Amino acid sequence: MKKLAIIDIGSNSMRALIVKVMNDRNYQFVDELKFIARLGRDMTAQGAIGEEKIKLAIAALSRFKRLCDSNNVSEIVAVATEAVRKASNQKEFIHRVKEEIGIDIRVLSGAEEAYFDYLAVVNSIDIKSALLMDIGGSSTELILVKDRKMEECISIPMGAITLTDKFLSIKGNNQKKIKELENFLVSNFNKIDWLKEADGMPIIGIGGSYRTIGKIHRNKVNYPFNNPHNYIVPSEDAIDIYNFLKNKEISLHKKVRGISKDRADIFLGAICCIASVIEYCNIKKLCISESGLKQGLLYGKLIRKYPPLIENILDFSLNNIVNNYNLNKKHLKLVWNFASELYTSFSEMFSMRKEDYKILKSSVMLNDCGTLLGLGSHEKYSFYIVRSLKVYGLTHREQIMAAFVVSGFEENKIRKSDYFGRIISCQDIGTIKRLSLILYMAESLDRAYDGNVSSINIKVEKEKVILTIASTQEALLEISVMNDCRDCFYRMFNRELVLK
């Protein structure tokens, strides 16, 4: 086990992420710290980072270094992007940081920055093809992904700070300035010969400006699930947010729910760029990625093959959570074998959707999370834990359904919850019922956590389902627990459950 720190020296903000790495494969986020330095603003006439900005950056890095030292970090990966990339005093800045703080900085090229953004997204969101867009303070990366492969990428030297300073901070008619900015953006997009290949694809947005769009939208629709990652914003809603803001004085943007005071003065330039890409590429929806450059660098460290792509995002994520919670892997493997067999056999009695398999697997693997907080109410605790975890590979709907499956399903509670009607439907409640029953039965077959039941055989008949249990010793405990679900089984499947 070792601790790794990843430091991102951006044009707008600087961030440090401390990660515990276990078995060279599993990881756990330990701490994170952010500092607004705005290195991309107020550069000298010679294109250098000013002395005051350098002092701010060194002060921030000093705090990061202290955090690393207190956490016994063994490796620091510090990278810098566009502001340092284009600075005429880049070498001086890097030398001063090394001399004063003892941190080595690697300046990423635009292509390298795009590559790590790509790794972050394809390893945390289950997508095949999309246009990835990372808009930072001084640059914007556009990445075309097809079948999970990076086909094209480009880094354009314009971002939230530079666009704001060039077009929106000068005096004059506000609408005229915005129109000039929109025309400028389109003229730059016309120079990217492959960009039209993204026509109709979803955008997966990376960076603080995209997260801000997600916050504004979640507040607007009173979204009940507070998870920014993999949140979907319809394109027309994003355009509506842009149109609302462009007709409002920038000084008033900080009063809009979801826009932080640190970003309010530069957000219009960023969302103008985003809206322009949406219209240029006929984008239908935006998907917000909370994973970005730092997570891409982490995946590059964790996965030894090239390119470092996770084959099954959900399995990787679940395995990571199981390790972090120190759950009983032998028990989980056995219960999942039983659950998958039951699922396959019961599919003959009702139609199952492809995503139901993922929901069931997540429920099985995460069901015991709540026992760490107390046995008496572990289902309730498990619900809150599963709902709050970052489970990569699941949509918000699938994750909420998995949380209800592990909660000891109560239909009335689901119907009264904020999630019903907004995220999950009546049809989803039926699925939750069936998956909850399968989970209960599978857990019952290893109730003592001792592997007594070695295998099962399931025979589905017209009026009954015969479950034959093979065990190393008498399975009285397992059968007695399983008997408790006979009535529920009959109501759900209109068949008698026979245990042998």
Q: With bands split at pLDDT 50, 70 and 90, how would you rate the model's confidence at 96?
A: very high
Q: How many CB atoms lie within 10 A of CB 252?
A: 11
C-alpha distances (whole Å) from 32 to each of 5, 18, 47, 294, 409 are: 9, 6, 31, 11, 36
Non-local (6+) Cβ contacts of 238 within 8 A are 213, 217, 271, 274, 275, 278, 286
Q: Do domains 2-107 and 313-499 have the same CATH topology?
A: no
Please determine, for residue 118, whether its predicted confidence score (pLDDT) is greater than 80: yes
Please determine, for residue 386, whether its predicted confidence score (pLDDT) is greater than 80: yes
Domain boundaries, the chain: 2-107, 111-295, 313-499
Q: Which of 57, 44, 55 is nearest to 13 (CA)?
A: 57
How does the average pLDDT of the chain come out, rounded?
A: 94
Written as six digits, the tokens of 284 are 């239908």
Among the listed ranges 78-87, 155-164, 406-415, which one has the minimum average pLDDT value?
A: 406-415
CATH topology of domain 111-295: Nucleotidyltransferase; domain 5 (3.30.420)
Q: With bands split at pLDDT 50, 70 and 90, how would you rate the model's confidence at 59?
A: very high
**pLDDT of amino acid 171:** 67
**3.30.70.100, 3.30.70.260, 3.40.1280.10, 3.30.420.40: which CATH number matches 2-107?**
3.30.420.40
CATH topology of domain 313-499: Hypothetical protein af1432 (1.10.3210)
Q: Tell me the pTM.
A: 0.95
Q: How many CB atoms lie within 10 A of CB 496?
A: 13
Please determine, for residue 358, whether its predicted confidence score (pLDDT) is greater than 70: yes
